[in-house]
Amino acid sequence: MKFISNLLDIIFPRHCIVCGEILSGEEKDICLNCLVRMPLIETRTLAEIEKIFWGIVPIERVASYIYYRKGTPYNRLLHHIKYKERPDVGVRLATNAATELKSRGFFEGIDAIVPLPLSKKKLKKRGYNQCDYIAQGIAKVTGIEIIDDCVVRNKANETQTHKSRDERWKNVEGIFSIINNEKIKNKHILLIDDVLTTGATLANCAKVLIECGCKVSIFTIAYSNNTI
């Protein structure tokens, strides 16, 4: 099998998503050079990120894996997951993140994973929900069940660009609702999204879950502290 995969690498060279160099052997998506330079989020920054939700909605724990910063080639990872039909990259990044978080006890007490749903319109256009794949990566490491039939996104929110912080929060109010309440009520949910920016969308989804008696923690692949 190794011979075949080596041969395939020669015929169809795979490239590092971040730097574009040719990947070899065991390397997947990202070359070793880029992997060791991943802009990982430090534990002390996670405490800062938690503050985004203070006074808005009570969130148990928040974790995010890498920084999403304007102009860095690492943003290509997120673009591949979301727009380039490579949600499998999301599975692998989430698996890496979950392995690290598990050793810190982050998942203790969490009953279910809920991927943030897309609106029907967006799902049809993209063909997949990237959050489903990120959820799969977390489930693979933790064995926690995924619940994807309880939260519904009622409408696509308009673009958040050019909106003030207050407008952004108002823009997403009431976009989520719960169905199959019995299945989800009183559980500790890990809510999944790809990028955390203002937190407005996640906070609104968390609100409807909390109204259903749930506790909510949050995981995203990336965190962006500039509201672009």
Nearest distance in Å: CB 119, Zn ion: 34
Tell me how many degrees the CA angle 61-82-163 measures, rounded to the nearest 5.
Answer: 70
- The span from the CA of 18 to the CA of 34, in Å, is 7
How far apart, in whole angstroms, are the C-alpha atoms of residue 134 and residue 90? 5
For residue 224, give both structure tokens.
Answer: 């962006």
Per the listing, tokens 């395939």 go with 8
Q: Considering only residues 16, 116, 147, 150, which one is a binding residue for Zn ion as defined by CB under 5 A?
A: 16
Q: Is 18 in the site for Zn ion (CB under 5 A)?
A: yes
* Sites for Zn ion among residues 33-72 (CB under 5 A): 34
Tell me the window of 9-17, 91-99, 102-110, 132-140 that interacts with Zn ion (CB under 5 A).
9-17
Nearest to 168 by CA among 202, 207, 201, 206: 201
Output the smallest distance, CB 40 to Zn ion, in A. Answer: 16
Helix or strand (DSSP H, E) at 135:
helix 130-142
For the record, the structure tokens of 138 come out as: 């977390």
Nearer Cβ to Zn ion (19/123) = 19
> What's the closest the beta carbon of residue 192 comes to Zn ion, in angstroms?
26
Residue 113 structure tokens: 């994973």
Spatial distance between the Cα atoms of 88 and 98, rounded to a whole number of angstroms: 15
Which CB, 24 or 227, lies closer to Zn ion?
24
Comparing CB distances to Zn ion, the nearer of 23 and 123 is 23
Q: Between 22 and 47, name the residue whose CB sits nearer to Zn ion.
A: 22
x-or-dash string of contact with Zn ion, 19-38, rule CB under 5 A: x-----------x--x----
| Complex with Zn ion: residue 16 or 200, whichever CB lies closer | 16
Are the beta carbons of 62 and 41 closer than 8 angstroms? no
CB of 91 to Zn ion, least distance (A): 19
Least distance between Zn ion and beta carbon 76 (Å): 10
What residues contact 195, with CB distance under 8 A and at least 6 apart? 68, 78, 220, 221, 222, 223, 224
Using the contact rule CB under 5 A, the part of the chain among 12-20, 138-146, 165-173, 200-208 near Zn ion is 12-20
By beta-carbon proximity to Zn ion, the closer residue of 20 and 58 is 20
Residues that bind Zn ion (CB under 5 A): 16, 18-19, 31, 34
